[in-house]
Amino acid sequence: MSVAYSNTNMRVPAGFRNLLEGLAREVLREQPTNVVAFAAQYFQKLLEQREAGGIDPVAWGAMLED
């Protein structure tokens, strides 16, 4: 069986790492039985906070990564 190998470098978008670390922290803290549903609720809450004029976690995370 042959596996195609690519030398392509993929770039992670700014703020993405911080966003996923926040989710991972909350999953470890809450220990939900349904991680997918928990993640959906977590991201929905972040979206609502951003739309309400609060902090944008992606923009904030991008500043931290620089």
pLDDT value for 27:
97
State the pLDDT at residue 25: 95
**Whole-number Å distance between alpha carbons of 36 and 20:** 13
Of residues 60, 46, 53, the one with CA closest to residue 15:
60
**66 to each of 18, 50, 60, 62, how far by Cα in Å?**
11, 21, 10, 7
- pLDDT, one tens digit per residue, over 12-38 is 788 888 889 999 999 999 999 999 999
* Interval 5-11 mean pLDDT: 72
